[in-house]
Structure 1
């Protein structure tokens, strides 16, 4: 049976309201970058992630890595911070620092990733392929909700999460190093009107 994250892991990816949950250790293909994501470089970086993710998916589906396994490729994610401390309405996009990523099934390994990367590099030209990394990370307790609308309107939804943090006596702690928050993109910005975009906004949290 095909593993579809929208059905099997809907509590992780499709929260209906601000939700607290605890996440286990997960695998990701990642790529670190800086600057305004509206610039062409960001699209090139995303374009380096997906060929490897689809190559791995097909290797599993064919049974090249053991028992055949079929799944839906996971959505693009990103963890974000700024180098100048700007946030919210004062955000300086040129100072953004981020790590974008695609989650991978538990049965895949760093060795599988390296083999896939070599196959993709033999067929595709993208300068960011050499920057891809395999990372295993356990986020632990998180608070998340869905934001619907343009990215520039996210501060309103983050303010709702901040209220939950205050009510629950929780604090935000950095994720995957010193990144401030995580975003999971449930819709493709290239094909979705900004007002219809859906993005999971997630904080890693701990008791105050």
Structure 2
């Protein structure tokens, strides 16, 4: 079964400096029907104005993945990390026993457009840690590239939850397939473009919960970028 979450049905807030869309309940947006999916708790699509950002704030016991689509995102945290994420780069924070951090758009002209994703960990109060990495374009062109996994397999980011995350950039007319093991679930997020999956058409910023499906065939109706989650 595939249940589509259309982009226009998400929670939305425009704070002036921040334009944000929430696939699941977050901050002042609360929808009992959309509290998360399996271990996937937050799927926020954010646009931050030039020179603005999130001040220092805390997190604990959450796996946080950020992915920049355009612009730049400057990160500083209590672990001593100070990095700038650029388009195509991933950041993973295992908040564990607790961290503080800030996120800021260092540009004076260009907004930053990025996804912030939270996954509930399967272990609590671990020592916090940080990773940042970019994956080669040819590794994700018309194929699924694993970008996060519990063991950091194949050079992916390491996450402390029973999930694997894949990224693909599909050229129009191309397709990728994926087999879901019994009892596993999927979430498909369209970052740009449009795709068809099992008879469902998804466009930019649409998502889909996938249950009781043995295999998926994802076909690009136009050039597209997708993120696929394999969840317990």
TM-score above 0.5 = no
When the two structures are superposed, what TM-score results if normalisation uses the length of structure 1? 0.29
- Which gives a bigger RCO, structure 1 or 2 (Cα 8 Å, sep 6+)? 1
Structure 2 length normalisation: TM-score? 0.27
Relative to total residues, which structure has the larger strand share, 1 or 2?
2
